[in-house]
Structure 1
Amino acid sequence: MNAEMVMQELEELGKERTKKIYSSNGAQEPLFGVATGAMKPIFKKTKINQPLAEELYATGNYDAMYFAGIIADPNGMTEADYDRWMDGAYFYMLSDFVVAVTLAEADIAQQVADKWIASGEDLRMSAGWSCYCWLLGSRPDKEFSESKLAGMLELVSRTIHDAPERTRISMNNFLYTVGISFSPLHDLATETAKKVGPVEVGKDKPKSKFINAYDTIQKAVGKGQIGFKRRHVRC
């Protein structure tokens, strides 16, 4: 399949209701509104195809960009490639659920995520923290430095309440992901999450809300989910 054929199939799968949902979350035109599950039959035809992924991502069409993440070859992309994809990720559904997810399956994931976390740019920082969430939730504990993660928990504790909106959300996700999926630091993550307390999000909206990593960890404890790892990161 070439890019034109993929775009045609995506357009046929688009639903107005899904398009409105994506738009309400920040997606901009062009987009078709394709449910992610509906893309699987197209993937069976394309398989992993980095050149096609690059072509689709460059269209600026949200659905095509999302599908690009599904068919990308994570280890076929360099740090510069990931930075370029982040440049095109104009809202969190691209930064955290396309670029960060793809990066999480690459060998260079931690070094790129570390750079993004230190960037000072909201979506890049958010993607960096999100990448660690995907990594911790899928890779063996031995692949991580316990002292490094402990330092990251301390950084979250000091800065989360003053961080930009999307970064704040991803930091909160990191807190509970460490608590749930990285057993060696379960206790420290739980203590840190309790210290952080509720985190306010949506401050720019008429009514903000609070998210709480400590509560999420406790629910996982109750369900016996500590140590949870998923088999695959991408769809």
Structure 2
Amino acid sequence: MDFEQVMQELEALGKERLKKQYMSNGAHEPLFGVATGAMKPMAKKIKIDQSLAEQLYATGNYDAMYFAGIIADPKAMTEADFERWIQGAYFYMLSDYVVAVTLAETDIAQQVADQWIASGEELKMSAGWSCYCWLLGSRPDTQFDESKLADMLELVTKTIHESPERTKSAMNNFIYTVAVSYLPLHDKAVETAKAVGPVEMKRDHKKSSILNASENIQKAVDKQQLGFKRKYVRC
């Protein structure tokens, strides 16, 4: 399938209800409102095609950008490519679920994520913390530096309440993911969650969300999910 065919297919798969839902979460035109599951047959046909992924991502169309993440070849992407992608990611569903997910399948994931976390820019920081969540939830514990992750938990304790809104959400998710998926620091993550307490995340035109890592960790413990690792990061 070429670029034109993919765009036509995405348009045909669009649903007005989903379009409204995505827009309520921060997406803006152009977009069609395609369910992620509806993209799978097309993804199976194409498999991996980095040049097509680049064409689709450059459209600024949310559905095309999301599909780009599914067919991208992360190992072919450089730091500069990811920098370009994060600059184009204008809301959290792109930064955290397309760019961060694609980055998590590379060997440069931690170094790029570290730079983004230190950037001071809301969606870059959010993508950086999210990337660590995808990494911790899929890679063996031995691939991580325990003292580095412990320092990151300290950073969350000190800065989460003053951080930008989407960054708060990703940091909160980081505490939870360390507790559940990185067993060497389970106890420290539980302590961090207690020290942080509930986190208020303000949202445009909606009431605030209250994030509570402690409650979610306890639910995972009750369901015996400690040590959870997913087989694939991308759908």
Fold similarity call, TM over 0.5: yes
Q: In the superposition, relative to structure 1, how do residues 151 and 29 fare at CA in structure 2: closer, same or farther (>3 Å)?
A: same
Equivalent residue for 1:150? 150
RMSD: 0.9
Equivalent residue for 2:44? 44
Which amino acid in 2 is paired with 1:234? R
Equivalent residue for 1:171? 171
Equivalent residue for 2:54? 54
Question: Structure 1: 5+ residue runs without aligned partners?
Answer: none
> What's the CA shift string for 1:19-54, capped at 9, x where partnerless?
000010011100000000000011111110000000
Equivalent residue for 1:183? 183
> Aligned residue pairs: how many?
235
Structure 2 distance, partners of 1:205, 1:172, is 22
Cα deviation, residue 128, structure 1: 0.1
Structure 2 distance, partners of 1:65, 1:39, is 12
Structure 2 distance, partners of 1:181, 1:19, is 33
Structure 1 distance, partners of 2:97, 2:69, is 9
Matched, 1:18 2:18: yes
Cα deviation, residue 203, structure 1: 5.7
Cα deviation, residue 209, structure 1: 2.7
Which amino acid in 2 is paired with 1:128? G
Cα deviation, residue 204, structure 1: 5.1
Structure 2 distance, partners of 1:25, 1:203, is 9
User: What SS does the corresponding residue of 2:19 show, helix, strand or coil?
Assistant: helix
Which amino acid in 1 is paired with 2:184? P
Taking only the aligned residue pairs, the percentage that are identical comes to 74
Equivalent residue for 2:219? 219
Matched, 1:88 2:77: no
Cα deviation, residue 205, structure 1: 4.5
Question: Structure 2: 5+ residue runs without aligned partners?
Answer: none
Structure 1 distance, partners of 2:7, 2:203, is 37
Q: In the superposition, relative to structure 1, how do residues 20 and 83 fare at CA in structure 2: closer, same or farther (>3 Å)?
A: same
